[in-house]
Chain A
Amino acid sequence: MKQLVALRVNGELHEVYVPVHKTLLEVLREDLGLTGTKHGCELGECGTCTVLVDGEPILSCLTLPVEVQGRDIITVEGLATQGVPHPLQVAFAELNAAQCGYCTPGMLMSAKALLDRNPDPAPDEVREALAGNLCRCTGYVKIVDAVRLAARRQQGDLGAVVEEIERALNEGVVREPGS
């Protein structure tokens, strides 16, 4: 049985006609072409498919689209504002918090939910908030560092952020004390 579902994803309204049992993860990836959201287990165990619904991190592999109609869904593709990457994205890139990068979109969404409610989390608060997201590459160290670095920065304008990325690519990361 199919159903027409209206989803607001990254501020854009989409109407999709999908089987009722198709998960939000599948609809995002297959029907909306938003492949930035990944999957690692399909059973709600790994956190890789995390997206935000009204600011709360949820597992899209365990969510049916009908449950989230009319709510604000944010995926990794919606993290940047007008082409300006979110401070979390820049910090993850600079500090090598993304190795294979596969868990990164989900990790970023959980981290954004954390920073939105706690702008200056302690390392243990970061670990607690992200404990549902598994990463096999990094040993989590640089992810904690990156979330805290992002917390210390304000979102800049496009020019400033591009400059920051350029510097990180060509000159290197300047680590701040206590990072």
Chain B
Amino acid sequence: MPTNGYDDRKNRSNLGSHLKQETSVVGRPLMKVDAMSKVTGQAIYADDIHLPRMAYARLLPSTQPHARIVRVETSKAEALPGVLAVITGRDLPIKYGILPVSQDETALAVDKVRFVGEPVAAVAAVDEETAERALELIEVEYDPLKPIMSIEEALEDTEVRIQEYGHGGNIHKMVSLQFGDVEAGFAEADYVREDLFFYQGNNHLAMEEHSAVAHYSPDGKLTLWSATQTPHYVHRALAKVLELPPSRIRVIACHPGGGFGGKSDPFHHEICAAKLAMLTGRPVKITLTREEVFYAHRGRHPVLMWVKTGVKKTGEITAMHFRSMLDGGAYGSYGVATTYYTGALQTVTYKIPRYKFEGLRVFTNKPPCGPKRGHGTPQPRFALEVHLDKICEEMGWDPAEWRQQQACEPFSLTANHLRITTIGLKECIEKVVAASGFREKFRKLPYGRGVGLACSAYLSGANLPIYWNDMPHSGAMVKVDRGGGVTVYCGSTDIGQGSNSVLAYVVAEVLGVRPQDVAVVTADTDLTPVDLGSYSSRVTVMTGNAAIEAAQNVRELLFQAAADELGTTSDQLDAAGGRIFRRDDPGVGLPFAKVAQLAEARFGTLAAVGSFTPPKTPGRYKGAGVGPSPSYSYTACVVEVDVDPETGWVRVPTVWIAHDIGRALNPILVEGQAEGSVYMGLGEALMEEQVFRRNLHKIPSMLDYKSPTFLETPDIETILVETNDPHGPFGAKEAGQGPLLPVPPALCNAIYDAVGVRIDELPVTPDKILKALERKAKGQDPRVGPTRMPHVEWVEPIYVEPPDLRHDPSLMPATKPT
């Protein structure tokens, strides 16, 4: 646990890019602004909403993995007393989907079902029990089609198509990009290595099951309260599918009870609740059961990977070629972006001068995969970091030292034209190695115990929006009340990470008031400026910058009003401690509320807006939109394991994690993100898997879907590294996703250190360890993992000349005035 810095009343920033050198709010371990409401049970989640005359709805799941719908007969259900409305796919035929290129979903299946659990009909009734009974009275006649349940089957069978669009057959998307002559790179290498890996899919398993409440008022306005991370995209989907003007739809995101990417798509139940509210004239609630959450899914894609890397004896990488095959499930969701992400960020940690990526995503008759914490990057990061560990082993290199030597340089470009700003990777490695005692333990612990190291990078928000437009990604409005209260309005959704608190902190810092004096209004499409949503680790950087700009704009009005009273000019003033005062003579000042009154008298109602648009992206090729970010966070992780060679059981006593956060706006919140990421990464590495048997989800319940409890979760030591990124609000970068990425490969590298076997397939269940140990005992390759990639005809790559990877001072932005 870091303890330093917490007693300092003032925290210093090395960089004056934004505002002050000294801060009084930013950097402090403050309680979240909504913490007390959550610990007293007063925070309202979607299922907590009870409206007068509210009806309850349930969805009828498909019993078939792949079938034509011949007939849906609803008359018996409609006749059941207490049933208010029954709808089928014919009532909501308009297609939608999160990405403009994958508008392939309907709220209820029309003509065809594509996975077991896909909703076919919906019933609204006076209570949930009646709705359930009505579902049993709906008759659906199916004409079964051949189910396709794996990547191999999808690639083999081009006759039976799950979707009628995409690359052809059951390939949804194929990508091929090449940056430089990789073959020449391999030719000049002293050692070239190829490896295969598989990362199983898994579910977010947010504690809260998805829920939505819709209300359609007699004046033709629709309101939807939902457990969503992306109210803006739900707003757009509702307008499209229900054919209502967006001006008559209001989407309010309640506190989501956990998201992790699982509440980022527009969902069946949200649209059905809205339609049923319109049909019945009553508020309608739908809350999914846990089993239905496993069908709604959008979780981690299962990915099969192949990687080939060439290195010089001196350590430099000469070239890398990476292939990935994603099992997408039945619909598009974010999958096209996910496919690109499995190849985008390999280049952002270590210098890779030539790089080739080929990726594809297939459709299968399973619930759709989508974005889960790390979105398409934990899988390749697992492959890459284990692969590099094997190279270091082969070459006799120290894995920590080698990674430090090969780390990318600050303010540089990568082979695929991503722009790196600050990079604290070397410092992260140094600190995590020191804290864990890695050098004293690595290859030195007794048999059964081991340590492993891995590193990673992640985006602080995607530079390009999900739908093409040139508007800001985030907007904020700050209003100052004549009593001295401040309200910040922003479309962002606090999913527990503390984004509401971040808004309060940055506005309080700029205006010199206390966070508690700042009211926060968020995630309401009627009240708040658009923010694209809580995904891609974009919120702190984008809403933080937007809120700073709004606060600075309103502060300018306050300073102008105060300047006359204080006998100076506005540029000579500062705001702190609830006062606005002369910088040259801090004793001369006025209380904040007094200045607010002067400013309102002079300028009228006090409010200002701010917005944030990410910087322009250097890459100019098709596919260059996935990967660029204002900044990248960096993480280094050491996992220690205790492997029982008799049972194959892996116990993890301690994980050390060092994260380059740019600047911690609140260290206790950043630690929370790192700890949660380590926990979730270990869950994926050791036990969590969304798997199927005979076309059915094998384990759609929390008891059978294993996740770590208090007892399986290790001690986690978090170290924060600050690099003060010029694009971040007060220097901040992301924390919510990056720290998950190095955990699975560090675990597998530690298992190799402990018992000398390579498990190249997640999750690492005890049976795999035993199998590998058995192979080792027989003198075979002590490895468990995939042995081949299915053959495919890859499309001709788009060729792009790579840039110079060296540090380039022209990439550093001009420092803004304080």
Contact = CB atoms under 8 A, between A and B. Distances in A.
B787 to A, nearest CB: 34
A42 interface: yes
A162 to B, nearest CB: 10
Given A39-B209, A95-B668, A134-B207, 11 more contacts: A77-B41, A85-B39, A99-B496, A104-B39, A127-B710, A128-B710, A131-B711, A136-B204, A169-B516, A170-B515, A173-B31
Interface in A162-179: 165-166, 168-175, 177, 179
Contacts of A104: 38-39
18 contacts: A29-B48, A35-B48, A36-B41, A39-B209, A41-B703, A77-B40, A77-B41, A96-B669, A98-B35, A99-B497, A131-B711, A139-B675, A139-B677, A139-B713, A141-B713, A170-B30, A170-B514, A175-B6
Contacts of B715: 141
Interface in B1-30: 1, 3, 6-7, 28-30
B711 A127 contact: yes
A109 to B, nearest CB: 10
A40 interface: yes
B290 A101 contact: no
A103 B39 contact: no
B675 A138 contact: yes
A53 interface: no
Given A40-B290, A43-B290, A134-B702, A102 B35 contact: no
B675 A98 contact: no
A132 B715 CA distance: 18
A90 B498 CA distance: 17
Interface string B669-687: 1011001111110000000
Interface of B: 1, 3, 6-7, 28-45, 47-48, 50, 204-209, 255-260, 289-290, 495-498, 514-516, 668-669, 671-672, 675-680, 701-703, 707, 709-711, 713, 715-716
B68 to A, nearest CB: 33
A46 B702 contact: yes
A142 B679 CA distance: 12
Nearest to A127: B710
A127 B279 CA distance: 49
Contacts of B206: 100, 102, 136
Contacts of B28: 171-172
B672 A76 contact: no
A138 B673 CA distance: 7
Interface string A138-151: 11111110000000
Nearest to B669: A96
A37 to B, nearest CB: 7
A34 B516 CA distance: 27
Contact of B207 (A79, A102, A141, A179): A102
Given A37-B41, A38-B45, A98-B39, A136 B516 contact: no
A102 B257 contact: yes
B676 A40 contact: no
Contacts of B255: 100-102
A10 to B, nearest CB: 11
Given A33-B50, A169-B515, A173-B30, A134 B707 contact: yes
Interface string A116-139: 000000000011101111111111
A168 B516 CA distance: 10
Nearest to A146: B39
Contacts of A179: 1
Contact of B40 (A38, A43, A85): A85
Given A35-B41, A139-B679, A175-B1, A99 B672 contact: yes
B703 A45 contact: yes
A96 B709 contact: no
A105 interface: yes
A48 interface: yes
A100 B207 contact: yes
Contacts of B679: 138-140
A76 B3 CA distance: 31
A108 interface: yes
Contacts of A41: 290, 701-703
Given A98-B38, A100-B495, A138 B289 contact: no
Max count, chain B CB within 10 A of own CB: residue among A76, A94, A177: A94
B208 A100 contact: yes
A38 B47 CA distance: 9
Contact of B711 (A88, A128, A169): A128
A170 B516 contact: yes
A127 B206 CA distance: 20
B675 to A, nearest CB: 4
A60 interface: no
A79 to B, nearest CB: 7
B41 A75 contact: yes
A89 interface: yes
Given A96-B32, A100-B256, A101-B38, A174 B675 contact: no
